[in-house]
Structures are given as C-alpha cells and as structure tokens.
C-alpha cells in the first residue's frame, strides 16, 4: 500500500481559525489567546482522518524574514501588521504541534507554500503520495498524479473539496501545470501582485487553452495574430501587446514560483514525522485546549478512546433510537482494498 504524506499549510489554517473563531475568545488559563490554535488542532485531526495520513508535516512562514519581500519589496506590502493576538498564536501553534509529536517546518526566509511544494516533490521519491491541506489557491499548481489538494473552505474539512487533476481543471479551467500562468496573468490582490490589465481568470484560461502557455499568447498578441482577438476580444488582445504586460506576467511567475528543496525534517524510514504519535501527548494537547480527544486519537494515534469524553458531544446529546428497516438494504459495490485508495 502506498503511504500518504499530509502536508499542512499551518499559516493558512490558523488564519482561517483566527477569524472564524474570534467570537469564542478562547484563552488558556494564563489569559493567552488560543482560539486559533484550538481551531487548527481540530482541523489537523479532521484532515488526518479524511486523508488517511501515514505521515504529517506542518509548514509555517518564517515570521522574521522573507526572501520574496527582499527581492520584490511590493510583495504583500499593502498588508497591515499582524495583530498581536495572531502573532502570539502563530508562535504558540509551532510549540504545541511539536509537543504533539508532529514535524513542524519553518523554512528560513520562506513560506508554508514552499513546505507544501517541497513535500509534493519529496513524496514520490520515497514511494509515497502527498495531500496538501490549505485554503490557498496557489497549491492548485502542485496537483499531479502523485499529489492532491484538500482545499479548506467554509464548512470545514469534511465539506471541503479534494482536488485531483480532473477536478482542479474543472474548477480553474486549466490543467494544474498551467495554473501558475493563469495566476500570474490574473494577479493576486491579496499578495499585492497586479495582473495584466483586462485579463481576468476566464480570459486567461481561454488564452492558455488556445495557445498552450502565456508566453505563446504574448508572442501572438505582439504579432497581431487574429486568434487573440477571436479568443479574448480586441481590448484584451491589445492589453497583452502593451509595453510592460509581458514583464508583469513574468515577474508574477517568479514571485509565485514555490521552492521545492526545503529541508522538511522528515525521515519516514526512521519514523520521524510518521503516525501514530503518542496517545498521551494527544490527550494532553487537546485537553489543554478544551477539545474532545476521541477523533484525534483515532486520526493521529490509530486508537479508540478508552472512555467517553464529554467534550466529544454537545451537552444533552444522545444517540438516536434505532429504527426497524422498512426495506432490505441496497447492495453496495465492493470497497477498495484500503480506504486510502479512494483518494488517488
């Protein structure tokens, strides 16, 4: 059976929990803000269960340095400083996850995206496959025959799509291998990367489908190829041919290119980064954040809780009374040899 390496974008998931769960204002006994870390712990357990993970690495951005900002000062320059409560929880999350027994990677000068890209490159070399867990669209470019993306959206892990090559192509309009071209043409306002004026995601997808790549589309526009006008209209074709358009696309591509050589700190043969982790570490971590531990024990340790935990169910909840079936159950097709095989 092929093992599955789950690579988690810690920044992405923690940011989502920071905003989604702020109303709870959950804090540790000393008053330290902890609602985002609480949400991250729940998401990691749910994702490990859904992906049937055999190994886990969690990546975080370097909070103190950025190779991309040093080279391109405008990158993310519009973002306000992080709230103190968010910075505190980012630091807390790293220590909590390491105490839990998971491998946490904070690459010097780089970002969690680079950890995911490196995990996707690393997995096939050891006979594994990767599932990248993130809410960031940039990871779409990593999807291939060995890598899927569990893109976290509203509704949580269970409501989020698992993207393979076919599903990613249906969602974005281009193959994953062309996604960086699409993103560079479209731009990314959240990262302060303006795209090519007049070329949004739909027109970018149409250009890539017609010409096979953005470079070929720019060549065609500068050569007054009539296909450009046919595909995206006269104004967008003219925008491609304007001075600076190609340079903007090329710069966006350079910024968006993810590093694939980050040292992850994994050694699956020696058990470093593999599941299961120690059940007592899971119980302690989840109890500290007032979380039920039954689901986490199953997902991260492969064991059932020895007894009920009141945090695993809402107050007053009781299992429904069984009902007598009115009809014979439907016959189901045989399941794969292992549930992991449904992912790939």
What pLDDT, in 10s, does the model give residues 5-20?
A: 999 999 999 999 999 9
Beta strands 129-134; 103-105: pairing state? unpaired
Query: Which token pair is 305?
Result: 């809780």
Q: Which residue bears the tokens 């074709």?
A: 237
Question: What pLDDT shows up at residue 45?
Answer: 98
CATH class of 4-171+259-270: alpha beta
296 φ, ψ (degrees, to nearest 5): -65, -40
User: Predicted confidence band at 317 (pLDDT cuts at 50, 70, 90)?
Assistant: very low
Give per-residue pLDDT as tens, 124-152. 999 999 999 999 999 999 999 999 999 99
Regarding predicted confidence, which is higher, 340 or 180? 180
- CATH 2.40.37.10, applies to 178-256: no
**Terminal CA-CA length for the chain:** 12
DSSP 8-state secondary structure symbol assigned to residue 144: B
Asked if residue 310 has pLDDT above 80, the reply is no
pLDDT(155) > 80: yes
The structural domains of the chain, with segments of one domain joined by +, span 4-171+259-270, 178-256
Compute the C-alpha angle 38/43/46, nearest 5°.
Answer: 130
3-state percent breakdown (helix, strand, coil) of the chain, nearest 5: 50, 10, 40
Whether the Cβ atoms of residue 149 and residue 140 lie closer than 8 Å to each other: yes
Reported as half-sphere exposure (CB side, CA atoms, 13 A), residue 306 has a value of: 3
What is the model's pLDDT at position 304?
Answer: 86
Per-residue confidence (pLDDT) for residue 315, from 0 to 100? 38
Residue 5 CA, chain-centre distance (Å), reads 13
pLDDT > 90 in the chain, percent: 87
Query: What are the helix (H) ranges across the chain?
Result: 10-20, 35-51, 67-71, 84-100, 112-125, 165-172, 179-186, 201-211, 214-222, 226-232, 234-241, 245-256, 279-288, 294-296
Is the CA virtual torsion 84, 284, 155, 47 positive or negative?
positive
Contact 104, 94 (CB under 8 A): yes
Across the range 71-80, mean pLDDT stands at: 97
Sequence-distant (≥ 6) Cβ neighbours of residue 332 within 8 angstroms: none
312 or 155, greater pLDDT: 155
Rounded Cα gap, residues 287 and 300, in angstroms: 15
Neighbouring residues of 188: CB distance < 8 A, sequence distance ≥ 6? 195, 252, 256
> Residue 169 half-sphere exposure, CB side, CA atoms within 13 Å?
9
Give the pLDDT confidence of 196-250 residue by residue, as tens digits: 998 999 999 999 999 999 999 999 999 999 999 999 999 999 999 999 999 999 9
Residue 335 pLDDT more than 60? no
């Amino acid at each position: 059976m092929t093992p599955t390496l789950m690579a988690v974008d810690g920044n992405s998931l923690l940011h989502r929990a920071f905003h989604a769960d702020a109303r709870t204002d959950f804090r540790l006994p000393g008053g330290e803000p902890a609602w985002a870390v609480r949400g991250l712990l729940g998401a990691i357990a749910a994702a490990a269960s859904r992906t049937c993970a055999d190994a886990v690495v969690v990546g975080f951005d370097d909070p103190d340095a950025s190779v991309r900002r040093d080279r391109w000062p405008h990158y993310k320059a519009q973002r306000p400083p992080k709230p103190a409560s968010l910075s505190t929880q980012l630091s807390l999350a790293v220590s909590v996850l390491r105490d839990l027994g998971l491998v946490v990677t904070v690459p010097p000068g780089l970002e969690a995206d680079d950890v995911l890209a490196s995990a996707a490159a690393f997995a096939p070399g050891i006979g594994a496959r990767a599932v990248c867990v993130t809410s960031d669209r940039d990871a779409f470019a990593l999807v291939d025959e060995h890598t899927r993306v569990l893109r976290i959206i509203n509704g949580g892990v269970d409501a989020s799509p698992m993207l393979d090559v076919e599903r990613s192509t249906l969602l974005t309009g281009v193959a994953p291998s062309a996604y960086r071209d699409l993103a560079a043409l479209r731009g990314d306002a959240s990262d302060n990367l303006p795209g090519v004026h007049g070329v949004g995601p739909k027109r970018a997808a149409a250009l890539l489908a017609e010409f096979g790549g953005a470079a070929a589309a720019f060549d065609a526009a500068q050569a007054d190829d009539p296909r450009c006008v046919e595909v995206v209209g006269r104004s967008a074709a003219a925008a491609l041919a304007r001075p600076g358009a190609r340079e903007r696309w090329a710069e966006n591509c350079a910024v968006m290119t993810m590093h694939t050589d980050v040292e992850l700190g994994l050694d699956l043969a020696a058990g470093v980064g593999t599941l299961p982790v120690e059940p007592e570490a899971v119980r302690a971590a989840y109890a500290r954040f007032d979380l039920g531990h039954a689901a986490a024990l199953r997902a991260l340790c492969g064991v059932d809780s020895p007894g009920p935990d009141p945090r695993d169910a809402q107050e007053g909840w009781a299992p429904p009374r069984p009902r007598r079936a009115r009809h014979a159950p439907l016959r189901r097709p045989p399941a794969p040899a292992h549930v992991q095989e449904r992912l790939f």
